[in-house]
């Protein structure tokens, strides 16, 4: 093992603690080790009670988003050496803009509700005839959509978005880039169904183009650009006669549906 690095982790168990507190763990770290490897060492060797989500270890499942030294990142894609220099330690906090639950765990429910609200699937399910949805997709169209479909649902954009911080109703960057992925698929016919959620006051127009999502996305998706393209498409739809929906907020889902 290489040198010890101090991990400073926000801890909180709602059944035990009045408020969150900082715990510090010296962790043996080798060159190239990720923050997630350090966290696993804490859980296995120092304190088994530390709660955090993790699965694939390689930046594809999106489980281990957290705030690392002030910025939302994936613990499995962040090398300790790359972040430790700025503070001399690794400081870990839960993602922002989502309700805090325990240690590094947040409640992701609103994120998923907003994802579902944009009807994120190709419509209609079955092509009306084979000719209507040919199994041919030009390479240029493929490239444009392919990058947008790289999303791993890690919630890092949601955590870094300043609008999500002040407006709990805003769909957020992830739901919007998902909508983009279908709205710009030549095989899709769902624009009418997505028009209301995208064009209302909590939809695409709420984006203030701060580029936080684009800057923080661990998959390098140009999210902001996608949202701007969506806005342009919405203007087109408005000019072609669709009713303006931007003054009508979406109904808030009742709490019964989401409580356990």
Near other proteins by CB under 8 A, which window of 10-18, 21-29, 164-172, 209-217?
10-18
Q: Find the binder of other proteins among 2, 22, 24, 45 (CB under 8 A).
A: 45
Residue 193, interface with other proteins (CB under 8 A)? no
Sign of the alpha-carbon torsion through 119, 120, 121, 122: positive
Residue 59, interface with other proteins (CB under 8 A)? yes
Name the region of 93 (left: φ>0; alpha: ψ -120 to 50; beta: rest).
beta
Q: Which is nearer to other proteins, 103 or 202 (CB)?
A: 103
At closest approach, how far in Å is the CB of 227 from other proteins?
A: 19
| Residue 71 to residue 90: CA distance in whole angstroms | 11
113 phi, psi to nearest 5 deg: -60, -40
Near other proteins by CB under 8 A, which window of 1-9, 19-27, 58-66, 207-215?
58-66
| Residue 147 to residue 208: CA distance in whole angstroms | 22
Q: Find the binder of other proteins among 135, 166, 241, 247 (CB under 8 A).
A: 135
Residue 258, interface with other proteins (CB under 8 A)? yes
**139 in helix, strand or coil?**
helix
Q: Which is nearer to other proteins, 239 or 256 (CB)?
A: 256
| Residue 207 to residue 167: CA distance in whole angstroms | 11
Contacts of 51 (CB under 8 A, 6+ apart): 102, 103, 104, 105
Q: Are 232 and 225 in contact (CB under 8 A)?
A: no
| Residue 110 to residue 115: CA distance in whole angstroms | 9
Residue from 163, 165, 167, 151 nearest 217 by CA: 151
Q: Which is nearer to other proteins, 82 or 238 (CB)?
A: 82
Residue 243, interface with other proteins (CB under 8 A)? no
What torsion do the CA atoms of 52, 57, 62, 68 make, to the nearest 10 degrees? 60
| Residue 10 to residue 216: CA distance in whole angstroms | 21
Q: Find the binder of other proteins among 4, 142, 168, 248 (CB under 8 A).
A: 142
At closest approach, how far in Å is the CB of 126 from other proteins?
A: 7
Residue 241, interface with other proteins (CB under 8 A)? no
At closest approach, how far in Å is the CB of 107 from other proteins?
A: 8
Site string for other proteins, 220-239 (x = CB under 8 A): --------------------
Query: What is the Cα 90 distance to its own chain's centre?
Result: 22
Residue 63, interface with other proteins (CB under 8 A)? yes
Residue 149, interface with other proteins (CB under 8 A)? yes
At closest approach, how far in Å is the CB of 123 from other proteins?
A: 8
At closest approach, how far in Å is the CB of 19 from other proteins?
A: 15
């Amino acid at each position: 093992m290489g040198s010890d690095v101090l991990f400073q982790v926000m801890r909180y168990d709602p059944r035990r603690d009045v408020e969150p507190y900082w715990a510090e763990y010296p962790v043996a770290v080798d060159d190239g080790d990720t923050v997630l490897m350090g966290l696993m060492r804490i859980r296995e060797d120092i304190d088994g009670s530390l709660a955090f989500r993790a699965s694939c270890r390689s930046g594809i499942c999106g489980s281990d988003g957290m705030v690392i030294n002030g910025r939302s990142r994936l613990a499995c894609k962040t090398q300790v050496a790359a972040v430790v220099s700025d503070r001399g330690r690794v400081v870990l906090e839960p993602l922002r803009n989502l309700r805090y639950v325990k240690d590094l765990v947040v409640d992701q429910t609103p994120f998923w509700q907003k994802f579902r609200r944009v009807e994120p699937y190709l419509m209609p399910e079955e092509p009306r005839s084979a000719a209507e949805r040919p199994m041919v997709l030009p390479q240029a169209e493929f490239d444009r959509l392919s990058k947008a479909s790289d999303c791993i649902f890690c919630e890092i954009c949601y955590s870094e978005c300043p609008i999500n911080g002040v407006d709990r109703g805003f769909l957020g960057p992830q739901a919007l880039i998902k909508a983009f992925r279908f709205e710009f698929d030549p095989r899709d016919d769902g624009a009418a169904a997505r028009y209301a959620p995208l064009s209302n006051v909590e939809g695409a127009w709420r984006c203030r183009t701060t580029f936080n999502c684009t800057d923080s996305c661990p998959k390098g998706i140009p999210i902001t650009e996608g949202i701007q393209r969506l806005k342009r498409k919405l203007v087109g739809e408005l000019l072609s006669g669709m009713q303006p929906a931007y003054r009508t907020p979406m109904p808030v889902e009742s709490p019964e549906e989401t409580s356990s």
